[in-house]
Amino acid sequence: MKSGEKNLVIRVDAGPQIGMGHYVRCLALAQHWCFQGGRVFILTNIADKRIGEMPGVIFQKTTEGAANAGQLIEIIQEKGASWVLIDNHNFDPVFLEKVSKTEARVIFLDDDATLKKYPVDILLNQNIFATSAMYEGKTQARLLLGNYYALLRPKFLNKSAWSRKHPSVATKLLVTFGGADPLHLSQNFLEIYSQLAPEDILRKMSIRLIVGQMNSNFQVIKDLSKKLPNCRVLRGVTNMQDHMRWSDIALSSGGSTVWELSFYETPMLLMPVSVPEEKIGKHMVASKAAIMIKTSKKVNFQNVFIKLSAMIKDKKHRLSLGIKAGALVDGNGALRVIHAMQSFKNLSIDQK
């Protein structure tokens, strides 16, 4: 990476309502950028937590309102950044226009094409449902669309000595509902699960329930798990890839974790908690790469358990789901995005 192109500024937030997904996918690009010889400055509301800290990544806490561009512009100018990555649905076209007037080029990470216009240089939407039609008449940016550009953290990519095994009967279940779990699915899962009969096949599974750092119900969840010796509750894990490798089946919400699970060919049952997540789930089902159950404020976990019980006993179906999911993500998405940034010249559409 040339010296004048080394500095990347990222503007992203996390919290109980928006979860950790936006932050984690930006972190993935940041870490790959550093491995390419660059430096990254992350402006975020959770800078004090220093999540994803590594050489070359510097955190700075926001001091203004989320939609105020002043602090971001100041950092861009101070660091002489060649690129700025912005990821948050709270940033409107006015915000983007202000940032686009700096010397840095702007890449925007989007999910649902809800803005009226996107005055940026590159528009990245890594979702499986992303199409150029979503942005027609809204931008002149170069479009990077689809799971071909899925951003995975570098630590997920080392699986050379590992391959997915599918036992005749699944015995290991990974449960993860994101960094915040605003619908309290983790708690509801354990409450209903604990009522299953002891002879139920699900009660014989080893369960790892991953609780995100933004989940306010951790202590309640931990207390519920004490009655279930087969269930481990883990919070703020830094080795998520190990838990994915361990599992036979995953029960998950429908955010960025889907691409990580797909990379590990994990048979998954998805419970989306937002409109973009539901779109991801529907396209995963259409690709025969996952099973999905629609989520509402009153989740019917009995239906979830019926689906899980069928997956546990159906090796052929799990094998098929895993293979189809694995075909969707090859782990090179972040490198493709960086290449597009470094080679940026003309406006075009890149869609796979």
128 and 102 share one domain? yes
- Side chain identity at residue 241, one-letter code: Q
Overall number of domains in the chain: 2
Residue-range definition of the domain harbouring residue 177: 158-326
193 and 302 share one domain? yes
For residue 49, the tally of other CB atoms under 10 A from its CB is 16
Q: String of b and e for 292-323 (b: at least 16 CB within 10 Å)? A: bbebeeebebeebbeebbebbebbeebeebbe
260 and 220 share one domain? yes
What's the distance, Cα to Cα, between the start and end of the chain in Å?
26
Is there a contact between 180 and 212 (Cβ–Cβ < 8 Å)? yes
Spatial distance between the Cα atoms of 116 and 184, rounded to a whole number of angstroms: 33
Q: Which of 170, 214, 169, 221 is nearest to 191 (CA)?
A: 221
36 and 135 share one domain? yes
Would you state the structure tokens that stand for residue 98, as one six-digit string? Answer: 């202000």
203 and 115 share one domain? no
31 and 175 share one domain? no
pLDDT digits (tens, 9 = 90+) for 43-98: 999 988 888 888 899 999 999 777 789 999 999 999 999 999 999 878 999 999 99
CATH number, domain containing residue 250: 3.40.50.2000
CATH number, domain containing residue 121: 3.40.50.11190
**Among 12-16, 58-62, 134-138, which stretch is predicted with the lowest mean pLDDT?**
12-16
148 and 237 share one domain? no
Would you state the structure tokens that stand for residue 190, as one six-digit string? Answer: 């354990």
pLDDT digits (tens, 9 = 90+) for 287-309: 999 999 988 767 889 999 999 99
* Average pLDDT value over all residues in the chain: 93
How confident is the model at residue 65, as a pLDDT?
Answer: 73
Spatial distance between the Cα atoms of 69 and 88, rounded to a whole number of angstroms: 13
71 and 42 share one domain? yes
Spatial distance between the Cα atoms of 107 and 142, rounded to a whole number of angstroms: 9
Q: Confidence class of residue 3 from pLDDT cuts 50, 70 and 90?
A: low
176 and 317 share one domain? yes
297 and 231 share one domain? yes
- Side chain identity at residue 27, one-letter code: L
200 and 258 share one domain? yes
pLDDT at 1 over 70: no
How confident is the model at residue 67, as a pLDDT?
Answer: 76
pLDDT digits (tens, 9 = 90+) for 223-273: 999 999 999 999 989 999 999 999 999 999 999 999 999 999 999 999 999
227 and 300 share one domain? yes
- pTM of the predicted protein model: 0.94
pLDDT at 133 over 80: yes
Q: Secondary structure of the chain in the HEC alphabet?
A: CCHHHCEEEEEECCECCCECHHHHHHHHHHHHHHHCCCEEEEEECCHHHCCCCCCCEEEEECCCCCCCCHHHHHHHHHHCCCEEEEECCCCCHHHHHHHHCCCCEEEEECCCCCCCCCCCCEEEECCCCCCHHHHCCCCCCEEEECHHHCCCCHHHCCCCCCCCCCCCCCCEEEEECCCCCCCCHHHHHHHHHCCCCCCCHHHHCEEEEEECCCCCCHHHHHHHHCCCCCEEEEECCCCHHHHHHHCCEEEECCCCHHHHHHHCCCCEEECCCCHHHHHHHHHHHHCCCCEECCCCCCCCHHHHHHHHHHHHHCHHHHHHHHHHHHCCCCCCHHHHHHHHHHCCCCCCEEEC
